[in-house]
């Protein structure tokens, strides 16, 4: 068994003691027992040597242990210092020396403070002082390095070594490198600072709430925008503070809070109404993001908002524009339909009855045509006011186009309620409108349909009210009628006709027939009138009286006349080019067309396009058309006449104009209306009118043509009165171009 070093020292002491005792005894015994003594001494010597060997072994073990310990000490992951109270380094491990970048021997017996960054030395002293005073482990952070260049950061932990107080005080100080951690902390701080600055200086509203919608953060812009300091809103609910309570936006917000956990993506972008502290309403486009904790649970919401009040205002204005009639400010057809659909939902749900009225101003077109669009507009506005004044606030009045209005009575008890309103409206339209100082009477016609009797859908109710209106217009205007199923068939036909009429041009269903005017004496063809026909795919060939009133009413007459004019001019030119004798063609110009300042330009353009010389064109205008707006008439006629175009007055005798009045116009001939010609042989009145007209017209140097001459007798009588020419079945039927060509020119040129 090995002996411990302490045992060895004891053994040695014992051996030395024995040696001393024996020496003393040797001196006492004086040699007699010398031999025995020497023997004993030898034995002790051996024992001593043995003990020395054990001692050596023990030392070696001790040294090995020491090496292990100092390795552990030197290579420990922390720096280790023993300092005296003046911070002189008494011991340092290799790690500590390396941390400071100095060899161990440079550090020993020198103050540790010297190695530290100048500005941190006081911190270090204070740290030691505190450690000494408080007697338990203290921590501080210091930096090491030069002024320029990067500094290393260390954390020191010191403790006073027990039992060594006063002058002998020793600090055991460990040191760990925290440079990396400090840098990343600094970076984090820096980026957090930047982020905060960004959030605060952003020109967007940025705010955070918890999951209950309580505000937890409010940036500077939000303060400025909403007019609240952030301290005032912190802890308050979003709804009621910056979102108006009980508003659709408030509802949407509550919905979002409820749904965001399940569908965050659904709520990413929203637009809603906001409220400033002053109560002023604003609009905000929000981008929302849930805020989550480490476990991914949603703990709140981050909102970034842009002020879109202005855009919303423009959008609203546009929406208003899209839903309202610009002239009268009334809802338009789109909005009216929305109202109607909503009202129908309510009516269906609660069992109400409702009424739809379709209205049309009587004679509006003639006001517009004769007095001009500006006056027409004034009339429309005035009519709107009267309509609005006739119904309750909760009833809707809309202008759905031209002179057509609709009214919705969303809740009535029986049909009589609608009758009362209809009478009220009719009554309001009995007094004249004052337009620019002129009194003008304009009545109104009303068609009414009822829910649920006349339809369950918005479309069918509107259509049936329209049919009822058509019915009123066909039977005398200025009254109201309820829809009934019998109206349907005839009126619907008419509506279909109207719809199809508009499409005749694109479908190529219009044709021109030509009818000659012949000299009453020589039977020579003087010119031919272009007369429009509609080749209806189902109804066959339609004459103007079957569709002209509709064309006039709908305005289709304008493109139609333009087409006839172009076709006739092109035909005349084509015959000339085919080598026939040039023939003058006459075209009818409607009253509407005749009032358009663009008429001259149109005729010029058509002549240029077709290459026809103006001398081969004559325009027929009725008296009424010529008299409607005499200034425009004179201007148009004078310019066209200067180009070489002639004019005739059509249907003469049916209008109110006097011959002397016509004298002021550049007119070439008058055409006596066929109604007088038909009465020639039976009605003495007609006879004298025709005779007088011919005489007076001649006095004014107009040529006279009699229309509708069907018999030889008529012909002869007219000749006896001095009539110049005739147009009628007797002289030639209206014929399509190829037949007319054959009849007139016979064989090809
Ligand atoms: P209008 O200009 O007075 O044309 C003469 C009308 O009398 C034509 O009727 C013609 O077919 C008809 N007629 C000719 N001879 C006789 C006859 O012997 N007996 C009878 N009873 N009638 C005869 P249409 O073609 O039906 O045209 C009717 C009216 O329609 C025309 O009257 C004219 O005012 C208008 N119209 C025809 N084509 C056009 C057009 O292209 N543009 C415009 N704006 N109006 C047109
Ligand atoms: Mg005519
Ligand atoms: Mg005529």
CA 231/CA 177 separation, integer angstroms: 41
* pLDDT confidence tier of residue 512, bands split at 50, 70 and 90: very high
Note whether 143 and 151 are within 8 A (CB). Answer: yes
Q: Is the peptide bond before 452 cis (omega within 30 degrees of 0)?
A: yes
H-helix or E-strand containing 411? Answer: strand 404-412
Atom 12 of ligand 1 has which residue's CA nearest to it?
708
pLDDT tens digits for range 653-687:
776 556 666 777 889 999 999 988 988 888 888 88
Distance of CA 620 from the midpoint of ligand 2 (Å): 6
Which of 564, 502, 514, 511 has the alpha carbon at shortest distance from 542? 511
Please state the rounded mean pLDDT for residues 233-250. 93
pLDDT tens digits for range 175-220:
999 999 988 888 888 888 888 888 878 889 999 999 899 999 999 9
Distance of CA 318 from the midpoint of ligand 1 (Å): 48
CA 504/CA 546 separation, integer angstroms: 14
* pLDDT confidence tier of residue 519, bands split at 50, 70 and 90: very high
Determine the pLDDT at residue 410.
95
Distance of CA 650 from the midpoint of ligand 2 (Å): 5
Which of 587, 574, 577, 578 has the alpha carbon at shortest distance from 527? 587
CA 671/CA 677 separation, integer angstroms: 11
SS3 readout for 450-485: EECCCCCCHHHHHHHHHHHHHHHHHCCCCCEEECCH
In the structure, ligand 2 is a single-atom ion and the residues with CB under 5 Å from it are 588, 620, 650
Q: Tell me, what DSSP letter sits at residue 324?
A: B
CA 326/CA 332 separation, integer angstroms: 9
Range from 493-502, 596-605, 689-698 carrying the lowest mean pLDDT: 493-502
Q: Is 618 in the pocket of ligand 1 (CB under 6 A)?
A: no
Q: Which atom of ligand 1 is nearest to the CA of 593?
A: 44
CA 423/CA 425 separation, integer angstroms: 5
Task: Supply the angle between the helices 599-610 and 557-577 in degrees, to the nearest 10.
Answer: 30
pLDDT tens digits for range 124-177:
999 999 998 888 899 999 999 866 778 899 999 999 886 555 556 789 999 999
Residue 646 has pLDDT above 90, yes or no: yes
CA 173/CA 85 separation, integer angstroms: 12
CA 175/CA 95 separation, integer angstroms: 9
Helix (H/G/I), strand (E/B), else coil: 163: coil
Q: Which atom of ligand 1 is nearest to the CA of 622?
A: 34
Which ligand is nearest to the Cα of residue 734, counting in written order?
1
Reading the block at residue 172, the tokens are 């055991």
Residue 310 has pLDDT above 90, yes or no: no
Which residue, chain included where needed, has tokens 């694109």?
Answer: 506
Percent of the chain with pLDDT over 70: 94
* pLDDT confidence tier of residue 720, bands split at 50, 70 and 90: very high
Q: Is 674 in the pocket of ligand 1 (CB under 6 A)?
A: yes
Reading the block at residue 343, the tokens are 């009202």
Which residue, chain included where needed, has tokens 């058309």?
Answer: 625
Which ligand is nearest to the Cα of residue 534, counting in written order?
1
Residue 599 dihedral angles phi and psi, to the nearest 5°: -60, -45
pTM for the whole thing? 0.46
Atom 41 of ligand 1 has which residue's CA nearest to it?
532
Which of 726, 670, 719, 676 has the alpha carbon at shortest distance from 696? 670
User: Can you spell out the DSSP letters for 557-572?
Assistant: HHHHHHHHHHHHHHHH
Atom 23 of ligand 1 has which residue's CA nearest to it?
708
Distance of CA 669 from the midpoint of ligand 2 (Å): 12
Q: Is 653 in the pocket of ligand 1 (CB under 6 A)?
A: no
Residue 81 has pLDDT above 90, yes or no: yes
Determine the pLDDT at residue 568.
97
Please state the rounded mean pLDDT for residues 593-599. 86
Average confidence score pLDDT of the chain: 88
- The pairs formed by 126-133 with CB atoms below 8 angstroms and a separation of 24 or more are 127/156, 127/158, 128/83, 128/85, 128/87, 128/158, 128/171, 131/158, 131/159, 131/160, 131/171, 132/85, 132/160, 132/169, 132/171
CA 437/CA 365 separation, integer angstroms: 20
CA 158/CA 161 separation, integer angstroms: 9
Please state the rounded mean pLDDT for residues 500-522. 93
Residue 242 has pLDDT above 90, yes or no: yes
431 strand-pairing partners: none
Q: Which atom of ligand 1 is nearest to the CA of 673?
A: 3
Q: Is 656 in the pocket of ligand 1 (CB under 6 A)?
A: no
Q: Is 158 in the pocket of ligand 1 (CB under 6 A)?
A: no
In what order do the strands lie in the sheet containing 404-412? 396-401, 404-412, 353-361, 444-451, 480-482
Q: Is 346 in the pocket of ligand 1 (CB under 6 A)?
A: no
H-helix or E-strand containing 504? Answer: helix 504-507
Q: Is 329 left (phi over 0), alpha (psi -120 to 50) or beta?
A: left
Determine the pLDDT at residue 382.
94
Determine the pLDDT at residue 632.
82
- The preferred substitution site among 590, 707, 715, 736 for testing ligand 1, maximizing ligand atoms within 8 Å of CB, is 707
Q: Is 565 in the pocket of ligand 1 (CB under 6 A)?
A: no
Please state the rounded mean pLDDT for residues 624-628. 78
Q: Is 532 in the pocket of ligand 1 (CB under 6 A)?
A: yes
Q: Is 603 left (phi over 0), alpha (psi -120 to 50) or beta?
A: alpha
- The preferred substitution site among 515, 518, 531 for testing ligand 1, maximizing ligand atoms within 8 Å of CB, is 531
Distance of CA 182 from the midpoint of ligand 3 (Å): 106
Q: Which atom of ligand 1 is nearest to the CA of 512?
A: 41
Determine the pLDDT at residue 208.
93
pLDDT tens digits for range 23-79:
777 666 655 566 776 777 778 888 888 888 888 998 999 999 988 888 888 888 899
Percent of the chain with pLDDT over 90: 52
In degrees, rounded to 5, the angle at the alpha carbon of residue 650 between the alpha carbons of residues 644 and 652 is 125
Atom 30 of ligand 1 has which residue's CA nearest to it?
544
Distance of CA 675 from the midpoint of ligand 3 (Å): 9
pLDDT tens digits for range 252-274:
888 888 887 777 777 778 889 99
Distance of CA 649 from the midpoint of ligand 3 (Å): 8
Residue 722 dihedral angles phi and psi, to the nearest 5°: 95, 15
CA 73/CA 93 separation, integer angstroms: 6
Q: How far is CA 532 from the centre of its chain?
A: 48
CA dist list (Å): 117 to 100, 130, 148, 152: 11, 20, 11, 9
Atom 7 of ligand 1 has which residue's CA nearest to it?
708
Which residue, chain included where needed, has tokens 């009413």?
Answer: 553
Residue 564 has pLDDT above 80, yes or no: yes
Q: Is 651 in the pocket of ligand 1 (CB under 6 A)?
A: yes
Helix (H/G/I), strand (E/B), else coil: 676: helix
pLDDT tens digits for range 348-400:
999 989 999 999 998 888 788 778 888 899 999 999 999 999 999 999 999 99
Q: Would you give the end-to-end CA distance of the chain in angstroms?
A: 155
Distance of CA 56 from the midpoint of ligand 1 (Å): 150
* CB-side neighbour CA atoms (13 Å) of 104: 12
pLDDT tens digits for range 480-490:
999 987 776 55
Which residue, chain included where needed, has tokens 């015959």?
Answer: 575
Q: Is 710 in the pocket of ligand 1 (CB under 6 A)?
A: yes
CA 191/CA 185 separation, integer angstroms: 10
Note whether 156 and 142 are within 8 A (CB). Answer: yes
Q: How far is CA 286 from the centre of its chain?
A: 16
Residue 431 has pLDDT above 60, yes or no: yes
Distance of CA 20 from the midpoint of ligand 2 (Å): 172
CA 390/CA 89 separation, integer angstroms: 107
């Amino acid at each position: 068994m090995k002996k411990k070093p302490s045992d060895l020292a004891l053994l040695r002491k014992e051996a030395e003691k024995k040696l001393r005792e024996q020496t003393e005894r040797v001196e006492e015994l004086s040699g007699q027992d010398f031999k025995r003594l020497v023997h004993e001494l030898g034995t002790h010597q051996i024992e001593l040597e043995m003990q020395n060997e054990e001692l050596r072994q023990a030392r070696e073990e001790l040294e090995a242990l020491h090496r292990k310990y100092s390795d552990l000490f030197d290579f420990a992951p922390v720096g280790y210092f023993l300092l005296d109270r003046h911070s002189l380094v008494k011991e340092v491990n290799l790690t500590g020396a390396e941390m400071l970048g100095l060899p161990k021997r440079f550090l020993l017996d020198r103050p540790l403070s010297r190695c530290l960054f100048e500005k941190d030395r006081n911190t270090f002293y204070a740290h030691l002082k505190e450690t000494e005073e408080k007697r338990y482990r203290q921590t501080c952070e210091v930096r090491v390095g030069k002024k320029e260049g990067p500094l290393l950061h260390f954390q020191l932990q010191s403790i006073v070594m027990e039992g060594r107080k006063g002058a002998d005080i020793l600090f055991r100080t460990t040191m760990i490198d925290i440079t990396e951690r400090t840098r990343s902390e600094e970076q984090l701080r820096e980026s957090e600072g930047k982020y905060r600055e960004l959030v605060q200086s952003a020109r967007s509203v940025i705010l955070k709430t918890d999951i209950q919608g309580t505000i937890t953060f409010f940036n500077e812009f939000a303060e400025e925008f909403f007019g609240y300091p952030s301290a005032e809103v912190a802890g308050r609910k979003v709804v009621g503070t910056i979102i108006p309570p009980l508003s659709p936006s408030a509802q949407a917000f509550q919905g979002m809070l409820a749904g965001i956990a399940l569908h965050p993506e659904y709520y990413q972008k929203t637009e809603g109404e906001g409220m400033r502290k002053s109560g002023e309403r604003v609009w905000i486009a929000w981008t929302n993001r849930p805020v989550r904790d480490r476990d991914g649970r949603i703990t709140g919401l981050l909102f970034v908002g842009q002020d879109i009040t202005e855009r919303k205002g423009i959008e609203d204005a546009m929406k208003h524009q899209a839903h309202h009639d610009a002239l009268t400010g009334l809802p338009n057809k789109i909005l009216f339909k929305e109202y109607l659909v909503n009202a129908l939902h309510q009516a269906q749900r609660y069992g109400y009855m409702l009424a739809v009225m379709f209205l049309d101003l009587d004679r509006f077109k003639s006001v517009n045509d004769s007095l001009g669009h500006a006056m027409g507009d004034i009339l429309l506005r005035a009519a709107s006011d009267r309509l609005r004044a006739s119904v309750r606030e909760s009833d809707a009045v809309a202008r759905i186009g031209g002179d057509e209005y609709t009214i919705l009575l969303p809740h009535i008890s029986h049909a009589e309620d609608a009758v009362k309103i209809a009478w009220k409206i009719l009554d309001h339209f009995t007094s004249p409108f004052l337009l620019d100082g002129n009194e003008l009477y304009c009545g109104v016609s009303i068609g009414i349909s009822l829910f649920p009797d006349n339809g369950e859908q918005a479309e069918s109710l509107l259509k049936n009210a329209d049919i009822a209106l058509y019915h009123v217009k066909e039977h005398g205007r200025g009254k109201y009628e309820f829809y009934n199923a019998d109206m349907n068939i005839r009126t619907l036909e008419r509506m279909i006709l109207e719809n199809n009429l508009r499409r005749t041009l694109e479908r190529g269903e219009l044709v021109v027939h030509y009818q000659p005017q012949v000299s009453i004496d020589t039977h020579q063809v003087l010119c031919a009138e272009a007369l429009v026909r509609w080749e209806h795919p189902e109804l066959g060939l339609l004459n103007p009286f079957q569709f002209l009133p509709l064309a006039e009413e709908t305005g289709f007459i304008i493109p139609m006349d333009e087409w006839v004019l172009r076709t006739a001019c092109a035909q005349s030119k084509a015959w000339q080019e085919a080598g026939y004798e040039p023939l003058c063609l006459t075209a009818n110009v409607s009253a509407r067309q005749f009032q358009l300042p663009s008429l001259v330009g149109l005729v010029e353009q058509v002549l240029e396009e077709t290459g026809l010389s103006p001398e081969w064109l004559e325009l027929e205008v009725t008296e009424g058309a010529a008299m409607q707006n005499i200034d425009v008439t004179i201007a148009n006629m004078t310019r066209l006449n200067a180009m070489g175009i002639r004019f005739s007055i059509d249907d003469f005798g049916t209008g109110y104009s006097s011959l002397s009045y016509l004298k002021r116009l550049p007119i070439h001939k008058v055409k006596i209306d066929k109604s007088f010609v038909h009465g020639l042989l039976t009605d003495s009145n007609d006879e004298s009118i025709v005779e007088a007209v011919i005489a007076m017209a001649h006095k004014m140097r107009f040529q006279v043509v009699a229309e509708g001459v069907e018999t030889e007798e008529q012909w002869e009588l007219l000749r006896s009165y001095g009539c110049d020419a005739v147009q009628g079945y007797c002289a030639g039927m209206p014929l399509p171009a190829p037949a007319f060509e054959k009849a007139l020119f016979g064989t090809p040129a």
